[in-house]
A and B are shown apart, each in its own frame.
Chain A
Amino acid sequence: MNTTKDTCGALLVALTLVAMIVSLYMAFLYAPTEATMGDVQRIFYFHVPSAWVAFFAFFLVFVFSLVYLVRRDKRWDNLAAACAEIGVLFCTLVLITGPIWAKPVWGVWWTWDARLTLTLVLWLIYIAYLMLRHYMTDPERRATFSAVLGVVGFIDVPLVYFSIRWWRTQHPQPVMSGGENSGLEPPMLATLLVCLGTFTLLFLVLLRHRLRLQSLREEADEIQDRLEQAG
């Protein structure tokens, strides 16, 4: 059983590494240079997938938190915690790569428009989620409180997504399903899709490692309990 798991893990890592190399090739060399922004537009191929992984991770936090609240099984709480941590990592990357793109294109690092502000709020919500988990010592209360925050906090994700459709924002309009005059050149679209796939694989690799860490922590706590009972 463990051997099968290890083989699957090794295959996943190998596949992710290959996908990363392909993504780098496509983002830097295959995708054409955008006419108005030039090379800086290529940040898009890592900025958008980072946002996708963050949204996906927070969606999983929402689902696992709901399941935890219904079933009260700590495995779901562990899964939610792992996804939240990875979601925060990628949300941080969105908030860093966005301004790096904005500075040469807009002339400013940051503007308080709806999309940017709501993304910052999203990041703060899940930072609060991680802090709650860190500082609360009672495992059951920690799991319940963070599950509630994991469910309520997810409300901001659709707000972030639809903000550029609902309000006039400085953030670029959606490039896919954005109505008339939206869309990407086929090589750009192919590059974006490959990068989205790569980042999803990367998320799975990170999640696997994060869950492994969690199971080791539980094993250590269990042995510690046995020692205390014996002594």
Chain B
Amino acid sequence: MQWLFAAFAVVWIAVFLYLFDLGRKQRAIAKEIEGLKAKLARGKD
């Protein structure tokens, strides 16, 4: 039974880690975009 749980755990942990990583990268780029937009607005002023 431990083999079965090991396999299932690996699948779901890997999928959720990948999703978490995508979310983390999205948040980081969204923050970067905000900063760049603010810089651009300051440049126009």
Instruction: Find residues 41-98 in chain A having any chain B CB closer than 8 Å to their own CB.
Output: 42-43, 46-47, 50, 89, 92-93, 96-97
Chain A interface, DSSP helix/strand/loop, else mixed: helix
Chain B residues near A100 (CB-CB < 8 A): 3, 6-7, 10
Q: Report yes or no: B39 in contact with A43, Cβ–Cβ below 8 A.
A: no
Q: Is A39 an interface residue (CB 8 A)?
A: yes
Minimum C-beta distance from A170 to chain B (A) = 18
Chain A 92-132 near chain B by CB (<8 Å), digits 1 or 0:
11001100110110000000000000000000000000000
Chain B residues near A209 (CB-CB < 8 A): 19, 22-23, 26
B7 contacts which of A101, A202, A226, A231 (Cβ < 8 Å)? A101
Stretch from A135-143, A159-167, A175-183, A214-222 forming part of the interface with B: A214-222
Q: Report yes or no: A93 in contact with B26, Cβ–Cβ below 8 A.
A: no
Interface size on A, residues (CB 8 A): 33
A43 in contact with B7 given A216-B33, A223-B37, A227-B43 (CB within 8 Å):
yes
Chain B residues near A104 (CB-CB < 8 A): 3
Chain A residues near B19 (CB-CB < 8 A): 205-206, 209
Interface size on B, residues (CB 8 A): 26
Minimum C-beta distance from B44 to chain A (A) = 8
Instruction: Tell me the complex Cα distance, A34–B14, Å.
Output: 27
Q: Report yes or no: B43 in contact with A217, Cβ–Cβ below 8 A.
A: no
A212 in contact with B26 given A46-B8, A100-B3, A206-B18 (CB within 8 Å):
yes
A39 in contact with B40 given A46-B11, A216-B30 (CB within 8 Å):
no
Chain A residues near B44 (CB-CB < 8 A): 230
**Cross-chain pairs A/B with CB under 8 angstroms, 11 sampled:** A43-B4, A46-B7, A46-B11, A89-B18, A96-B14, A205-B19, A213-B26, A216-B33, A223-B33, A227-B43, A230-B40
